[in-house]
């Protein structure tokens, strides 16, 4: 069995021009952690995830490399943070993609899929065609677990 058999071939995807607000709605309604972003030709560009949302809600001085490690001195309320997110709501998701997350190919073996999830501490991984870079589908940990439980029965 390979990634091809495990993946969901019709995942919810975003375009780079979609707004942060749209992405947040998708994430909340489908309870998804990672949304793959593709261009007009369906080529994979990166992932917009719950971590992208957290990053754009927090001040730059906190998320940057060598930024503040500890902000327990701040007293920002949820309102303040909500306002930050709202202000960013109309920005395109294209600026907030993570591009170095692991990806898989349709022929990636199952064990490698599971190892990538463990090492990358991620619950879903995009499946991308090696040559055309087209997004073929996405594998969520739930898909893998489901298959595992069916097999044990």
Partner 1 sequence: MHGSGEALPSIIFGLNPMVFAAILFILTYAVIMTEKINRAIVALLAAGLMILGGVLNQEAAIRGVDFNTIGLLIGMMVIVAITRQSGIFQFLAIWSAKKVNASPWGILVMLSLVTAVTSALLDNVTTVLLIVPVALLITEELKVSAYPYLFSMIFSSNIGGTATLIGDPPNIMIGSALGLTFNDFVLNLAPIVVVAMAVTLIPIYLIWGRRLKAADEDRQRVMAFNEREAITDPLLLKKCLAVITTVILGFVFAHSLGLEAATVAMTGAAVLLLLQCWPLDAEHQSKRVLQAFNEVEWITIFFFVGLFIAVHGLDSTGLLELLAERVLHLTGGDPTATTMTILWSSAVLSAFVDNIPFVATMIPLIKSMAGTFGGPEGLMPLWWALSLGACLGGNGTLIGASANLVVAGFAERAGQPIRFTRFLLIAFPLMLLSIALATVYLYWRYL
Contact positions toward partner 1, by CB under 8 A?
Answer: 59-62, 64-68, 70-76, 80
For residue 100, the minimal CB distance to partner 1 (Å) is 16
For residue 19, the minimal CB distance to partner 1 (Å) is 19
User: Which CB atom, from 94 or from 106, has the smaller least distance to partner 1?
Assistant: 94
* Residue 37 in tokens: 């972003």
Single out the residue of 81, 83, 90, 94 nearest to residue 35, CA to CA. Answer: 94
User: Which CB atom, from 30 or from 83, has the smaller least distance to partner 1?
Assistant: 83
Query: DSSP letters of 1-28?
Result: -BHHHHSBSS---B-TTSBHHHHHHHHH
Q: How far apart are the first and last CA of the chain?
A: 18
Cβ atoms of residues 43 and 135 within 8 Å: yes
Length of the chain counted residue by residue: 153
For residue 121, the minimal CB distance to partner 1 (Å) is 24
Cα separation, 70 vs 88, whole angstroms: 24
Single out the residue of 108, 116, 115 nearest to residue 137, CA to CA. Answer: 108
For residue 62, the minimal CB distance to partner 1 (Å) is 7
User: Which CB atom, from 78 or from 149, has the smaller least distance to partner 1?
Assistant: 78
User: Which CB atom, from 29 or from 72, has the smaller least distance to partner 1?
Assistant: 72
User: Which CB atom, from 87 or from 146, has the smaller least distance to partner 1?
Assistant: 87
Cβ atoms of residues 1 and 110 within 8 Å: yes
For residue 117, the minimal CB distance to partner 1 (Å) is 30
């Amino acid at each position: 069995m390979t990634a091809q058999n495990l993946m969901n071939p019709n995942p919810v995807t975003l375009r780079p021009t979609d707004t942060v607000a749209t992405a947040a709605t998708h994430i909340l309604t489908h309870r998804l952690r990672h949304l793959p972003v593709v261009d007009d030709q369906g080529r994979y560009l990166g992932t917009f995830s719950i971590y992208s949302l957290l990053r754009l809600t927090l001040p730059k001085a906190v998320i940057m490399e060598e930024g503040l490690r500890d902000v327990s001195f701040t007293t920002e309320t949820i309102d303040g943070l909500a306002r930050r997110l709202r202000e960013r709501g109309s920005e395109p998701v294209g600026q907030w993609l993570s591009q170095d997350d692991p990806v898989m190919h349709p022929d990636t073996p199952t064990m490698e899929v599971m190892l990538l999830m463990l090492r990358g501490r991620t619950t879903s991984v995009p499946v991308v065609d090696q040559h055309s870079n087209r997004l073929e589908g996405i594998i969520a940990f739930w898909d893998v677990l489901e298959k595992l439980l069916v097999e044990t029965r």
